[in-house]
Amino acid sequence: MSDDPFGDLDAAMGDSGPSTPDSEADATQEQTTETDELPETEQEVSERSPLEDPAFEFDETVHKALYVLEAVAAEFDDIITYDVERELTRDHGLKNVKKSELHNAALAVIAEHPDLIVDRVLEQRGIDDE
Amino acid sequence: MSRAVSVCLLKGGIGKSTTSINLARELAHRGNDVLLIDLDPNGHTTTGLGFGEEFYSDAHLGDVLLDDAELEPTELILETDFEIDLLPANDRIEQVESDLGGVMMGSARLKQRVVDPLLGDEYDYVVVDCPAARGKLNDNALYATQNLVLPMRPESGALSGLEKTVKRLIQPAREHFDLEILAVVPTDLRDRIDHERPTRRLIEALVSKPNIASKIPNFGYVDPSFFEAIDDGSWDDDLPKPGIRHRSAIDASIREHMPLRDYDTSCDQLECYDELAQIVETGEVDR
């Protein structure tokens, strides 16, 4: 990053003359974030109601096959449906919660914890590295 | 003595909100007036204290920080049942972030309009929960508080998250003002420390760097010589259990929308948050 995010502070510190507003370039550069969220167009952001509408359209998603044991699949579906979706609708007032939103969030969370996946694969094989 | 502090790290899911809530709560429990400011667009701190509805309210921080400001910060502040006040996040705060990029002294607004007017007058301590992404909200938090608490979970990416935070936030900020790191807080640890696991890797990495080691609270600190003794088999004492340990009560308190103290006063990890509160009070780790 070559830009100085605090360049606008010089005026606040009183160590320069009258300041001018940040240049447009600076304002646009500041928009780079490191979140893993799916990019959304501005139009979608302005028209979407977070409580009413899913985070993204179904046709933006891909269908991906996952192979899991039946018991794990059943537990996952239960957690997603009974715990997660219920909390979202009951405690956070969301409507129209889609499976794709839940699956997307679940995989995104898992992707942030590769160490837990490693642990579990070892555990499945009966390898105890504790 | 009053002080403002940001709970900050450029990585999501590492316990910023849990740390912010419980740090603020322990400061209050120690007899201080405390304001907790939630700047994170995901609003975990706000919803985590039971203000899910307020997260979607029409009035928000942008009405205080931007050029057409219509509100005093006190008009947004909510009283909680937990001895702390909350300036909530809002689902439109990301728009505020981009708007701040285009106004004069956009990085100084939180300091000028919220923290300076309230700190030392209305509140003894201000704790700011920061976003995981770099941007004007983080810049505002750093300039307004000029003190940092950096939480670290033992997971891959934790150390690179710290490095990124230093390079992209802390170093650029220090070109302009004094920014103090009060504490680096290992949190949500569950492994034994004598195994080659994320917990050991995190603690060993942190304590082996003198500049970081001095910032680790006593509850998270292990003398580097311990690891040599473990490896050569000469350690014959109890194993230390550094860091804020994983406890189901902490998870449950989040689900029940309250700080740990209010969910379970007997949880043994409260003393960690108490030490963290003392560090914020005194301005340094007391080894």
- Where are the domains positioned within chain A? 47-129
Residues A27-63 have pLDDT tens digits of 333 333 333 333 333 333 456 788 888 888 777 777 7
- Binning pLDDT at 50, 70 and 90, where does residue A67 land? confident
| A119 to chain B: closest CA residue | B197
Query: What local confidence, expressed as pLDDT, does residue A70 receive?
Result: 81
What is the number of structural domains in chain B? 1
Q: What angle do CA B105, B128, B14 make, to 5 degrees?
A: 120
B287 in a structural domain: no
| Residue B130 belongs to a domain | yes
Cβ(B45)–Cβ(B35) under 8 Å? no
CB contact (8 A) between residue B101 and residue A33: no
pTM for the predicted model, two decimal places? 0.72
B79 domain residue, yes or no: yes
* Phi-psi label, residue A21: left if phi above 0, alpha if psi -120 to 50, beta otherwise: beta
Chain A residue at shortest CA distance from B13? A112
Which of A10-24, A39-53, B243-257 shows the highest mean pLDDT? B243-257
Average pLDDT, whole number, for chain B? 94
In Å, how far is A16's CA from the nearest CA of chain B? 12
Residues 6+ apart with CB under 8 A from B206: B152, B184, B186, B212, B213, B216, B220
Mean pLDDT of B154-170: 88
Q: CA A73, CA A75: separation in Å to the nearest integer?
A: 5
Range of the domain at B197: 2-280
pLDDT value at position A72? 86
Angle at B54 between CA B52 and CA B60, to 5 degrees: 135
In B, minimum Cα distance to A92 occurs at B52
If you measure CA to CA, which chain B residue comes closest to A36?
B12
Of B12, B157, B164, which has the smallest distance from its Cβ to A35's Cβ? B12
> Which residue from A64, A86, A1 is spatially nearest to B255, judged by alpha carbons?
A86
Give the DSSP letter of residue B177: S
In a domain, B190, yes or no: yes
Mean pLDDT throughout A76-91?
Answer: 81
Measured in angstroms, the CA of A81 and the nearest CA of chain B are apart by 17
What per-residue confidence (pLDDT) applies to A11? 63
In degrees, to the nearest 5, what angle opens at C-alpha B165 toward C-alphas B160 and B166?
100
More confident residue, A9 or B55: B55
Range with lowest mean pLDDT among B60-74, B155-169, B260-274: B155-169
CATH number of the domain residue B73 falls in:
3.40.50.300
User: CA dist B208 to A29, B50, B238, Å?
Assistant: 36, 40, 21
Q: Quote the CA–CA distance of A112 and A107 in Å, as a whole number.
A: 9
Inter-chain touch A129–B195, beta carbons under 8 Å:
yes
Amino acid occupying residue B198: P
- Residue B112 in any domain: the answer is yes
Q: How confident is the model at residue B251 (pLDDT cuts 50, 70, 90)?
A: very high
**Residues in chain B closer than 8 A to A1 (CB atoms):** 168, 172
Residue A20 has pLDDT above 90, yes or no: no
Give B5's strand partners. Answer: B127
Average pLDDT value for residue range B122-144? 96
Nearest-CB residue to B105 (from A1, A19, A112): A19
Is the confidence at residue B6, as pLDDT, over 90? yes
Using the predicted structure, report yes or no on whether residue B40 has a pLDDT greater than 70.
yes
Compute the nearest-CA separation of B103 from chain A (Å).
Answer: 6
